[in-house]
Amino acid sequence: MSLNPTSYLNIKQLISVCVISISSICLAPMSFAQMQIEINGVGQSRYPIAVTYFSSESSLPTKVSEVVRNDLANNGYFSIIDTGFAEVAENANVDLGSWSSKRANALAVGTATPLGNGQFEIKYRLYDIVRNQSLGGTTVTVGKDELRRAGHVIADDIVQRLTGERGIFSTRLSYVVKNGKQFQLMISDSDGQNARTALSSNEPIISPTWSPDGKRVAYVSFETKKPVVYVHELATGNRIVLSNQKGNNSAPTWAPNGNKLALSLSKDGNTQIYTINADGTNLKRISSSSAIDTEPQWSPDGSLIYFTSDRGGSPQIYKMSSHGESAGNAQRVTFRHAFATSPRISPDGRYMAYIARAGGYKLQLLDLRSGEVSSLTSTSYDETPTFAANGKFVLYATRSGGKPVLAAVSVDGAVKQILSLPGADVREPAWGPFLN
Amino acid sequence: MLKNTSQEVLRRLSTTVVLVSVLALGACASGVKLDDVTPKNTGSASPTSKDFANNPWNDPNSPLYQKSFYFDFDNYTVKSADQSKLDAHAKYLNSNKAQKIAIQGNTDDQGTTEYNLALGQKRSDAVKKVLSLLGVSDSQIETISFGKEKPKSTATDDASRAENRRADIVYQDK
């Protein structure tokens, strides 16, 4: 994931709309405020882990072990055991018995070595204190500006070794910040830090959505005073107009193979669902009602498209073949509430998150196999849910203290976080995929 | 690492341009595009000094001045009192076949983003339908929606919400 420092910027684009590539030579990271995380709920049982400072990391601009500790603490299923300020090297002889008396079940130690060409090698090792054995570790080599990424990779490695599941600390978020009259499409780390601006505009930006390979983001921008769908390549800042048909162009979503998108257009009168190639060719209508059909979402196996429709009177969520209604009637999937919109399918295809009107607009989780619905949140202006790449968390937009913020909740409902930006509104989140 | 001087020059130039455009962000996304000069809809033109021959929709004394149409909650039908106001717009557009308009639909803050975008579209389409029935050609009208993204009023009392349930006619520059 190295940034390309020689990308050419389109000057004309810069003057008209501030399209900015995620590059270290371009716009500086947002300097006026950092995203703040507030933890309001943690897992029922938390795994105690100790992560010492790494040897020689005090000379680094970013302390990698701090990123690791923060990631694990924010995750909600770990409790961080205090290790003081001692730096413990990756190859140090550790006395696991003494760590056991500190009530840690696992210990992570590491070494940071400058390689001389602006690169650093971070080597860490994980110990299972209960079983009195080393679990192995990993080595990450990064440039000076990528030290946070090294911390995320190590935190992911710890989660993988301890739970067998893939961690999501290295994944990225996309979201929209509104500051007065200015809108910015941001790309950040999974904790909202290291945020960079991809697009700045005086008109709204909504519905960002990540390509399956994490290299592109499609979104809706109103910069020409109407909703138009763009596909934006993050490394270069280059973007294409995916769809600018007469009327609205919105609700883009990627097919699992990354070659096509589905979206909503009003070009034929009422809002309907279409598919289109990622280069903007081969537009095809796939829904066929005389009502509003919108918010298409592919199932992970590519066979179905879930969508919002008010063909039955009030908006509910339906599914149809990904070839469209010509291949078979759409079937309704939500029955619990009088209003249901914004479907999102978990990466394993097992759950659907959506928004229901249930005394306020509230995030729900539908188990697609059993039909069970659970209400996950205590907030009530919930919108735009998005699953983490490992399916364990849902990030969504809501309000806290009257202000638009992002919130995250684990699918079991236990872990709760608020992500807020002082002085600005945050909205329209999209959680990016695993990066390989 | 940048390898040669022309890349370095381009990098410095583009960094400067970015810094300039960051400082001028108020003008950043709105200033330069040719189709972005829409006349203001509400009372900012001075009635005593201007000749409104070219833009009668800005003349407070003209029946074309009324360009906003309001809707009840969860409702997408043009009110009967507004039908006659739309008569004036239809008459003008039928006599000026080169004149185009955009009709922008809006909703109040209740609901969710994308579904509200589609609901706002029902309001702009409702206004278009009245004009079409009065003979205005489809090619003169584009209907779009801002959903709940561009509220006129950000308060959540009934009066503010009513202000946001609205479709606006915007005469386009030729």
State residue A18's pLDDT score.
58
Structure tokens at A410: 């684990």
B174 close contact with A: CB closer than 8 A? no
Please check the confidence at residue B5 and state whether its pLDDT lies above 60. no
**Domain check: are A227 and A130 in the same one?**
no
Side-chain half-sphere CA neighbours of A123 within 13 A: 11
Residues of B in contact with A15 (CB under 8 A): 17, 21, 32
3-state secondary structure chain B: CCCCHHHHHHHHHHHHHHHHHHHCHHHHCCCCCHHHCCCCCCCCCCCCCCCCCCCHHHCCCCCCCCCEEECCCCCCCCCHHHHHHHHHHHHHHHHCCCCCEEEEEECCCCCCHHHHHHHHHHHHHHHHHHHHHCCCCHHHEEEEEEECCCCCCCCCCHHHHHHHCEEEEEECCC
Asked if A322 and A239 sit in the same domain, the reply is yes
CATH of the domain at A96: 3.40.50.10070
Q: What is the per-residue pLDDT across A25-65, written as a single tens digit (0 to 9) for each?
A: 233 345 457 899 999 999 888 999 999 999 999 989 999 99
* d(C-alpha B174, C-alpha B172), whole Å: 6
Tell me: do A390 and A341 sit in the same domain: yes
Beta-carbon count within 10 A of A228 CB: 20
Domain tally, chain A: 2
The token pair that represents A319 in the structure block? 């599914």
Measured between CA atoms, how close is B8 to chain A, in angstroms?
9
Same domain, A372 and A312: yes
Q: Within a domain: residue A17?
A: no
Q: Which long-range contacts (CB under 8 A, 24 or more apart) does A97-103 make?
A: A99/A50, A99/A127, A99/A129, A100/A129, A100/A130, A102/A50, A103/A48
Same domain, A182 and A121: no
Domain boundaries, position B168: 55-174
Whether B149 contacts chain A with CB within 8 A: yes
Instruction: Identify the band that residue B103 occupies on the pLDDT scale cut at 50, 70 and 90.
Output: very high
Domain limit, last residue, from A116, A131, A163: A163
Residue B172 located in a structural domain? yes
Q: Do A223 and A365 belong to one domain? A: yes
Cross-chain Cβ contact B28/A294 below 8 Å: no
Considering the domain architecture, whether residues A264 and A387 belong to the same structural domain is answered as yes
Question: B138 and chain A: CB distance < 8 Å anywhere?
Answer: no
CB contact under 8 A, B28 and A18: yes
* Angstroms from B25 CA to nearest CA on chain A: 8
B99 domain residue, yes or no: yes
Residue A7: is its pLDDT beyond 50? no
Does A404 contact B at CB distance below 8 Å? no
CB B30 within 8 A of CB A202: yes
Shared domain check, A204 and A129: no
* Structure confidence by residue, pLDDT tens digits, A317-333: 999 999 999 999 999 99
Distance from CA of A207 to the nearest CA of B (A): 8
Using 50, 70 and 90 to split pLDDT, how confident is the model at A295? very high
Residue A198 counted as domain residue: yes
Residue pair A294/A264 in contact by the 8 Å Cβ criterion: yes
On whether both A157 and A197 belong to a single domain, the answer is no
The nearest alpha carbon in chain A to B149 belongs to A204
Q: Using a CB-CB distance cutoff of 8 angstroms, which residues of chain B are in contact with residue A355? A: 112
Residues in chain A within 8 Å Cβ distance of B112: 341-342, 355, 361, 383-384
Taking the C-alpha atoms of residue A277 and residue A299, their distance in angstroms, rounded to an integer, is 18
- The tally of domains found in chain B comes to 1
Q: What percent of chain B is predicted at pLDDT more than 70?
A: 71
- Is the per-residue pLDDT at B31 higher than 80? no
Cross-chain CB nearest to B114 (options A6, A247, A250) = A250
Q: Is residue A83 in a domain?
A: yes
| Residue B63 belongs to a domain | yes
Q: Which of A163, A195, A212 is the last residue of a domain?
A: A163
What number is the average pLDDT over the span A210-223?
A: 98
Interchain contact A332–B (C-beta under 8 A):
no
B155 inside 8 A of chain A by CB: no
* Least confident residue range of A5-9, A20-24, B167-171: A5-9
Minimum Cα–Cα distance from B31: chain A residue: A16
Q: Which of residues 33-62 of B touch A (CB under 8 A)?
A: 33, 35-36, 38
Are residues B25 and A18, on separate chains, in Cβ contact within 8 Å? yes
Of the partner residues B17, B32, B149, the one whose CB lies closest to the CB of residue A11: B17
Structure tokens at A250: 């919105």
The reply to whether A300 falls in a domain is: yes
* Residue A386 predicted with pLDDT over 50: yes
Q: Which of residues 105-134 of B touch A (CB under 8 A)?
A: 111-115, 117-119, 121-122, 125
A230 pLDDT more than 50: yes
Supply the pLDDT for residue A93.
93
For A206, nearest residue in chain B (alpha carbons): B113
Query: Is residue A5 in a domain?
Result: no
A430 contacts A181 by C-beta, under 8 angstroms: no
Q: Nearest Cβ partner of A14 from B21, B114, B144? A: B21
Domain span at A342: 172-431
- Of A106, A134, A163, the position where a domain reaches its end is A163
CATH number at residue A186: 2.120.10.30
Pairing of strands A87-88, A53-54: parallel
Partners of residue B150 in chain A, C-beta under 8 Å = 203-204, 222
Q: Do B114 and A315 touch (CB under 8 A)?
A: no
Contact of B147 with B120, CB cutoff 8 Å: yes
SS (H, E, C) chain A: CCCCCCCCCCHHHHHHHCECCCCCCCCCCCCCCCCEEEEEECCCCCEEEEECEEECHHHCCCCHHHHHHHHHHHHCCEEEECCCCCEECCCCCCCHHHHHHCCCCEEEEEEEEECCCCEEEEEEEEEECCCCEEEEEEEEEEEHHHHHHHHHHHHHHHHHHHHCCCCCCCCEEEEEEEECCEEEEEEEECCCCCCEEEEEECCCEEEEEECCCCCEEEEEECCCCCCEEEEEECCCCCEEEEECCCCCEEEEEECCCCCEEEEEECCCCCCEEEEEECCCCCCEECCCCCCCEEEEEECCCCCEEEEEECCCCCCEEEEEECCCHHHCCCEECCCCCCCEEEEEECCCCCEEEEEEECCCEEEEEEECCCCCEEECCCCCECEEEEECCCCCEEEEEEEECCEEEEEEEECCCCCEEEEECCCCEEEEEEECCCCC
Q: Are residues A116 and A239 in the same domain?
A: no
Judge whether residue B40 has pLDDT over 50.
no
* A298 and A230 both lie in a single domain: yes
How far apart are alpha carbons B71 and A19 in whole angstroms? 37
Instruction: Report residue A98's pLDDT band, with 50, 70 and 90 as the boundaries.
Output: confident
Q: Which residue has the higher pLDDT, A436 or A156?
A: A156
Best B2, B18, B125 member to test A by mutation, with max A CBs in 10 Å, is: B18
CA separation for the pair B130, B142 (Å, rounded) = 14
Contacts of B49 (CB under 8 A, 6+ apart): none
What integer is the mean pLDDT of B157-173?
Answer: 97
- Determine the pLDDT at residue B3: 40
Interface of A with B in 260-279 (CB under 8 A): 264, 266, 269-271
Domain identity same for A305 and A397: yes
- The CATH number of residue B140's host domain is 3.30.1330.60
Q: Which A positions 69-128 lie with beta carbon below 8 A of chain B?
A: none
Q: Indicate whether A337 pLDDT > 80.
A: yes
